[in-house]
Chains A and B, each alone.
Chain A
Amino acid sequence: MSTNAFNRRRFIKVSALAGGGMLLTFDLLNGCKPAVSDVVTLPKEWYQLNGYLKIGDNGLITLMSPNPEIGQNVKTSMPMMVAEELDVDWKDVMVEQAALNADLYKPMQIAGGSNSISASWEAMRTAGATAKQMLKQAAANEWKVPVAEILTTNGMLSHKASGKSAGYGVFASAASKLPVPEKVALKKVSEFTIIGTSRKNVDGQKIVSGQPLFGLDYKEEGMLIAMIVHPGAFGQQLKESDISGVKTMPGIVDAFFVDVYPEKLERQWSDVAAFPKLLAIVGKSTWQVMQAKKTVKVETEPIKPTSKKMNVFGTDVEMITPAGPENTAMHKEKMMAGAPSRTKTVRKDGDPEAVFKKAATIIERSYSCPFLAHSTMEPMNFFADVKEGSAILTGPVQTPSFLEKTISDRLGLPLDKVEVKMTRMGGGFGRRLYGHFGVEAAVISQKMKAPVKLIYTREDDMTNGVYRPAYYATYRAALDENKNLLAFHVKAGGIPESPLHANRFPAGAIEHYLAEEWDIPTNISVGAFRAPASNFIAGAEQSFLDELAEAMGKDPIQFRLELCEKAKSKPVGKDNDYEIDRYAGVLKLVREKSGWGTPAAPGVARGVASYFCHRSYVAHVVDIVMKNNKPVIEKVTTAVDCGIVVNPDAATNLSEGAVTDAIGHAMYSAITFTNGVPDQKNFDGYKLIRYSEAPKKIETHFLKSEVDPTGMGEPSGPPAIGALANALYKATGKRFYDQPFFG
C-alpha cells in the first residue's frame, strides 16, 4: 500500500476499552503486510476501531498481533481470538505485527512462560466484540432500528425485519467515530466458529518462499556489520589491549572495546550477560568482519567475586557471582555433595523423618542433567540505529519492553525516544528473553554514529550463552512391609538454582512429604529454557514414580491414578499447585489412546509419564525399539489438557515440537566446561536431535475442555523425558538417571 494511504489514516481516541484501558496510539512505521495473499485488493481507507484492528472501506480486516513471534504461532492464533468475536471471515483477514506499546497491549508484549494465548484471552476477544458492537451501533443509527436486532456474520451486518444488510466496510467509518462501549458480551464456547478450528500460519507463504522476515534479514541503507569478541572463558573478563592490527584488515571500519554494562548501570532480570565488556569489530561485509575476528587475540584477566541485588518482577534477588574457573567435573562433585549450608525446607507435610526411620524399605535414586545451549537456528543478532537523542532497534527479542527500558537507561535517553521493533524470530526457547545483544548493538551504533547490525557467529552464540542450568535431584520413598507408600522425600538443587516445584503432584497425595532445595552459585550465565526447571525435574520425578510403581508391584498409570484419587479425596497440605481432575484426565486419555494394557508389538517397549506445568497437563506414552544399542522412537502418544484449544493443528505442531525438543536434549545434548571454557562451540561438538533420531510418529490428543486456554508451548516437553526414560528401562532393563542418556 502507498505511504499516502498511511498519511491519510485516521486517528481515533479510544479509552477504557478492555483490560484496564487501552489507549489507541498506532505506529505508522509498522507498515501493512498482507498476510492472506499479495493479490488482495487493498482498501482506499482503513478505519481503526481499536488498537487491535482496522477495517477497510472494502471490508478487508487487519488484525494486530501484539506478541513476539518465536515459532509458537501467536501471529496466527492470537488474531483468531479477535476475529472470532468480530465475526469476520478469516479469509478477509490480514495480520500485522503490532508495534511495542505497553499502554495498549495488556498484560505485556512478551514471549515467555507459555503465556501469550492465556494472558490475552480476555483482551483480544473483548477487542473484537467491542468493534463488532460499534459496527452494529453505526448500522442501527443509519437504518434507524434497535441495535439489539442487528445480526453479524462473516463481516456482514443485517437486520431481518427491514431486510437491510451491509458489509463491515460500509459502516467502518461511522463506527470509528462512535464512543467505545464499556461492556460487551463475549460468545459462549458453543458459539465459536473460528476458535477451535485449524488455521494455517499467516506467514506460511513468506516462510516457504524465503522472504525477509527475521532479524538477521533486516537491512537498512548504510548499515555496517558488527561482531563481538568475548573473553572465551567464564570467570574471565577482557583486558584492553592493542587491537590496531585488526583495524587494517580488509573491509574493517573500526574496532574498539565497549563497556556494554558499566558497573553503575542497574541491570534488569533480562540483562543476564556474563561478559559486560567486549571487543567490537565493525566492517562493511559479514565475511570480512568474520575474517578479521578470527585473527584477534584478546587478553583476559580473572573477574572478582560479586554479590548484587537484582530486581526480578518486584522482588530483590541476591545474585552471587563467584570468581575462578569452573569445570564440569567440579560441578558434578559439588552437586552430588549438595550444598548443606544453602539447603532449605520448602514443604513439609506430616512427620516424614520419623516415618523414614521406621520404613521397611527405602528406595533412593538420584538424577542429573547438564547445562544446555538454546541453539536457536537464527543466531543472536540485532539492528540498532542510535542517533543524538534517539534510538531505533529492530530485531529478534522475546522481551522487547525490557530491552527498551535497558536501552533507555544505558544510553541515557528518555523511554519515548527509544523504539524497539519486533521481527519474527528464528527460535526463542527462552534465549531471547535476555536481550544483551540488543544493548551491544546499540552501544556499538552509538560509537559508530551509524546504523549497525550485530551478528553472532554460531560459536559466539554457543559460547556466550545464557544456559539451562545444571540440575540434580535425589528422591526417596519409604514403604512399609506390605509395600505401601508411607513417605516421600525430594531434595533437589542446581547450579545456580533449584529445579524444584515443591507443591506440584505428587505433593498433596502423600501424608508424609518433605521437599528440600539448595543452590550453588556460578559465574556461568544461566537463564530460562523451554519449560524452565520442569524440563529436568519432570523427567526425574516421573522416572522415580515409575521405579516406585514397580517396587510396589503396580501398573505405572494405575499407581499415578491412585495417587490422584488420594489427592482428590483427602488432599494433604494447602498449597497444592494443580487441578487433580485435569491431571488424572490426561492419564486416562493417554491410557485409552495408546493401547496401554494391550500387548505392544514384538520388540516394542513402552514408558509413560505425566506432568503439570505452565498451567497445562500432559501425559505421554513412548514406544521404542532398540537398534544397535540405541532407541528408535516408534511412536509417542500424547494427551494434553490446555483448556480450550484455539488453533488445534498449530497446537499439535507445537506439542510435537516440544516432545522432539525434550527427547533430543535428554538423549544427546550437553554443554561442558573446562577452566570456564565451553567445550562445545558449534553443531559439530554440540549434538541436537536430527530427523533420523526424531520420533517416527507422534499422535496428539487434546482433552475436550471449556476451561479458558492454559499454556501450550512448554508443557508437552517435560513429561516426554520421563516417558522416554521409562521406556528405555523396559527395553534395556537399565534405568537412565543422568542426562544426556546417549551423550
Chain B
Amino acid sequence: MATFNLHINGKQQQVDADPSTPVLWVLRDNLNLVGTKFGCGIAMCGACTIHVDDVATRSCVLPVSAIGSKKITTIEGLSEKADHPVQKAWMEKDVPQCGYCQAGQIMTAAALLKKNANPSDEEIESTMSGNLCRCGTYQRIKAAIKTAAASL
C-alpha cells in the first residue's frame, strides 16, 4: 500500500492503494466516483475513459502510481450540471440505450472536441472506434458529436 495525492475533478484527493491499482478502481472503490465504468480491463472497450491532462485515457490499465501531478477529469467532473456541450448534445439526440458505455463515449468525444472543435468524419471515426457500444448507438453518437461541434 502507498499513499497518493491525486488531482481529480479540480480537487486534491488522498488515497491509499497498492501502486499497481488501476485508476479505474481507485475512482470506483476508493473515491466513490462510479461514473467511470469497468468493461474489459484491457483497454479494448473504452467504458473506463477519463481525461488525464485533457487526453482521453483508458483508466483500467493506468496504474495509480503513474499519475503523479497530472490532472484527472472523470465524467462527474466534466461539468457541474451535466451541461458540457457534449453532454447536452447526448441528451438532445437521446443517444443512450442501456447507457453503460456512454460516459466513456462522452469523455472520448469531449477530449476530441477539445483538441479539434471541428473534426472531420474520418477523425471522429478513428477516435470513436476505440469505444464499444453493445446497444449499437453509433449513428446517434455521430449525430451528437456533430451537434456538440456545431455548438462550440
Contact = CB atoms under 8 A, between A and B. Distances in A.
Interface of A: 70-73, 198, 200-201, 203-205, 207-214, 216-217, 219, 225, 250, 285-288, 290-291, 375-379, 424-429, 455, 457-458, 649-650, 653-654, 656-661, 664, 682-684, 688-692, 694-695, 697-698
Contacts of A656: 136-137, 139-140
Interface of B: 1, 17-18, 20-22, 25, 28-30, 32-42, 44-45, 47, 74-76, 78-79, 82, 87, 90-91, 94, 96-103, 106, 125-126, 128-142
A286 B45 contact: no
A216 B38 contact: yes
Contacts, number: 188
A697 B139 contact: yes
B138 A691 contact: yes
B102 A207 contact: yes
A216 B98 CA distance: 13
Nearest to A683: B44
Query: Which among A71, A205, A377 has the highest number of chain B CB atoms within 10 Å?
Result: A377
A659 B140 CA distance: 13
A457 B22 CA distance: 14
Given A285-B25, A692-B126, 9 more contacts: A286-B29, A377-B98, A378-B37, A424-B99, A427-B98, A427-B134, A458-B42, A657-B97, A692-B125
| Ranked 3 nearest A-B pairs via Cβ | A210-B35, A426-B100, A71-B98
19 contacts: A71-B98, A71-B99, A201-B94, A208-B90, A208-B96, A208-B103, A209-B87, A210-B34, A210-B76, A219-B32, A286-B25, A377-B100, A424-B98, A458-B39, A458-B42, A649-B94, A682-B44, A690-B129, A695-B139
A204 B102 CA distance: 10
Contact of B134 (A208, A287, A654, A688): A688
B132 to A, nearest CB: 6
Q: Which secondary structure dominates where chain A touches chain B?
A: loop
B25 A377 contact: no
A287 B22 contact: yes
A287 B29 contact: yes
Nearest to B21: A287
A519 B18 CA distance: 51
A216 B128 CA distance: 24
A282 to B, nearest CB: 14
B97 A71 contact: yes
Contact of B40 (A290, A426, A682): A682
Contacts of B17: 285, 287
Contact of B102 (A198, A208, A285, A654): A208
A77 B140 CA distance: 19
Nearest to B86: A208
Contacts of A287: 17-18, 20-22, 25, 29
A654 B39 CA distance: 22
Contacts of A209: 35, 75-76, 78-79, 82, 87
Contacts of B42: 458, 682-684
Nearest to A655: B136
B129 A691 contact: yes
B18 A653 contact: no
A692 B129 contact: yes
A664 B136 contact: yes
Contacts of B76: 209-210
Contact of A208 (B28, B38, B87): B87
Nearest to B126: A692
B76 to A, nearest CB: 5
Contacts of B100: 214, 376-378, 426-427
Nearest to B77: A210
A661 B135 contact: yes
A376 B133 CA distance: 9
